[in-house]
Amino acid sequence: MPYWLMKSEPDEFSILDLEQKGRARWDGVRNYQARNFLRDMAEGELFFFYHSSCAQPGIAGIGRIVRSAYVDPTALQTDSPYFDTKARAEKNPWSAVDVAFVERFQTPLSLARLKAETALAQLALVQKGSRLSVMPVSAAEWAAILALR
DNA sequence: GCCAACGTTGGC
DNA sequence: GCCAACGTTGGC
């Protein structure tokens, strides 16, 4: 079963927000490669919830996919920060998934800690210049990260 | 706020 | 199809 990692700016949506809501739509992805990964996700699969663009970037917890990819409605909403002027109802290229809270780490795993781990050298997240907001994580990487909690 | 790296746009 | 210019991401 594939594993994933998804980034969110905690000021926008954090692991605490997901914990409090229990379930949420993961929308606003506006990169084709990331979108394609969203479309590869299946119900029941797990992902690391990564906090980006913040004081303490790192993995903050775990979530689960509870609904596979469907058309992202925010692309058509003019009042949404994710509005896409080129998207049309009959031609909306963007996808969203629904996710549920699984676990919040007592202490988030900092990016520095992840970079220091030899077993994670191939992790897409730590590659130079990697900006993907949705990426796959191998089973071995998943286990290695869990062991760092 | 800076800046490296990347993706997208648009002229040609 | 090339590629320069521009906008965005995201760590620091």
As a whole number of angstroms, the longest Cα–Cα distance in chain A is: 46
pLDDT at position A76, please? Answer: 86
What's residue A90's pLDDT? Answer: 82
Task: Check if residue A63 sits with its Cβ under 7 angstroms from strand C.
Answer: no
Contact A47, A66 (CB under 8 A): no
Tokens standing for residue A26: 């993961």
Residue ranges in chain A whose pLDDT is less than 50: none
pLDDT 10s digits, A18-39: 999 999 999 999 999 999 999 9
Q: What is the DSSP letter of A91?
A: B
**Closest by CA position to A114, among listed A65, A147, A86:** A147
Those nucleotides of strand C lying less than 7 Å from any protein Cβ are 8-12
The residue extents of the domains of chain A are 3-144
The answer to whether the C-beta of A28 is closer than 7 A to strand C is: no
CATH of domain A3-144: 3.10.590.10
Cβ within 7 Å of strand B: which of A 68-127? 86
Task: Please report, rounded to whole angstroms, the spatial distance between the CA atom of protein residue A23 and the C1' atom of nucleotide B6.
Answer: 32
